[in-house]
Each structure stands twice: as structure tokens, then as C-alpha cells.
Chains A and B, each alone.
Chain A
Amino acid sequence: MDDEAVFRALADGSRRLLLDRLHASNGQNLGELCRGMGMSRQAVAKHLAILEEANLVGVRREGREKLHFINPVPINDIAERWIDKFEAPRLAALAELKRNPEGKDHG
């Protein structure tokens, strides 16, 4: 997926709030997502369209309803690309500490 679109979509507090709300309760319609956002229905719909474009939100029709879901796939890709590689040396250091807890080599 396009990383630029993902980061652009995440660079907005209202859109991050929408993702948090979907994480708390997945599968909501536009009306539910508008509640407490303090902006027009059109503005929320526009934010959701940007999130959908970046593939951070997936949409599914159920009966007459259009439900929005957070899509964890691009978020996982960002974690692997930008976080896990910094995490690996720290985990290796912890493993080393476990093997040699009293630091005998250094004492």
C-alpha cells in the first residue's frame, strides 16, 4: 500500500480520533461516528473517505447499513517497518542480560 497516503491520513487529529473510536467499537455507521465529533456529517464523511483511501478503514455493507471498520493491516506494516527493527536490538540486549544476569564477564 502507499505509505504516503497512510502517513497523510494519520497526520490529522480528527482522523486519529475516528480510528481510536473504531478500535474501541468496530463496525460503526456514519451516524454513530458523527456523535461527539463536533463537526458536520459531511466533514466526518470526508475524513472517513481519506482513511478509506489510505486503506486504514474498510467499509462493509450489511443490509441497508454501511459499516466502517478499522483495518489493522497497514498499521501492522508500519509497525514492522518503523518500530520492530528498533525493538530487535533491545530484545537482544534483554536476552543477553538473562543469560548473564550478574554481569560476571564484567565483574
Chain B
Amino acid sequence: MADGKSAFLYVIYIRTTADELWSALTKPEFSRRYWFGMTVETDWKVGGPWRLKNADGQIFDTGEIVAFDPPRRIVLKWLHERRPELKAEGPARCSIELEPAEGAVKLTIHHTIDRADSKLIEAVSGGWPRILSNLKSLIETGKIALSQ
């Protein structure tokens, strides 16, 4: 983007209800199945912390809950913790929005950071589509499409 920002937008339609999708997004027993073993640790209180951990308990990302409005919208402050060059970019912002759309739910994820040519935004742009495809097939068919 021209004004010193980097952003990606991900849109997927999932045949389910907003309540079911909301619970898939916020419950760890569900997330570890479509997010390659990852779970979010948080009590989902606005202003409170969250951490994303893999199956071995290693922390990948951390941040703060900025907004939590079930079953419509979650906004997270997002700081990567593993790769120093990505952590050095500082916090990004991720908003997750659910909108009912003709028998399905439109899920929109907007991941943005206030700097041009962000390596973090580039790095996550390969990950989100795989996570979302897996989430869609898990909800619609009960099975995941990709195991790693």
C-alpha cells in the first residue's frame, strides 16, 4: 500500500452458521485440528493477552485482545515471537469478521501492519489460505484437507 502500510485480506465462504464458525474459531479443541496443531491460549477478555502455541507448547505469536464481539468480530494485536526479523517489525493487527451470506458465512480476515513491505504480512500470506481451507473442509465435511 502506498501509505506505509502492508495488508492482506482473506475471504472464504463456509457453509455453516455464524455461531458454529465462532465456536470453531475460539475453541482450542477445534483449532488444533485445522491449524496444524496450534492452539490459542486466552480468556478472550478485551485488553487481555493471547498466545498462539504449537503442540509442543512453543509460543509462535502473542498479543492483546482488542475487540471481542460474538459472533461477529474479533480484533487482535499481533506480535510474532519466533523469527527475530519479523518480531522486530513490531505489532500487527488482525481482524476476523463473520457475516451471514445465503446459507453460508463469509469469513474475512484482515491482517495489517503500519509499515511498507512487511515481511510478517508476506510470511503469513502463505499460511492463512491453508488454515482457512482446512477450517472450511473440517466444518463442511468433518475432515481436514491438509495435515501439515
A1 to B107, CA, bound (A): 13
A27 to B10, CA, bound (A): 12
A1 to B2, CA, bound (A): 31
Question: When the two chains form the complex, which single residue of A1, A58, A75 contacts B9, counting CB atoms closer than 8 Å?
Answer: A58
Question: When the two chains form the complex, which single residue of B7, B9, B133 contacts A77, counting CB atoms closer than 8 Å?
Answer: B133
Query: Size of chain B's interface in residues, with CB distance under 8 A?
Result: 22
Residues on B with C-beta less than 8 A from A28 are 1-2
Answer yes or no: A26 CB below 8 A from chain B CBs: yes
A69 to B1, CA, bound (A): 10
B10 touches A72 (CB 8 A): yes
B108 touches A58 (CB 8 A): yes
A55 touches B1 (CB 8 A): no
**Interface size class, chain A:** 10 to 19
Residue interface mask A27-67, B partner, CB < 8 A = 1 = 11000100000000000000000000001001010000000
Residues on A with C-beta less than 8 A from B9 are 26-27, 58, 60, 69-71
Residues on A with C-beta less than 8 A from B108 are 58, 60
Residue interface mask B108-143, A partner, CB < 8 A = 1 = 101000000000000001101110110000000000
Known: A69-B7, A73-B132, A80-B133. A1 touches B1 (CB 8 A): no
Q: 6 A-B pairs, CB-CB below 8 angstroms?
A: A25-B1, A26-B1, A55-B13, A70-B9, A72-B126, A80-B146
Taking Cβ atoms with an 8 Å cutoff, the residues of A that contact B are: 1, 25-28, 32, 55, 58, 60, 69-73, 75-77, 80
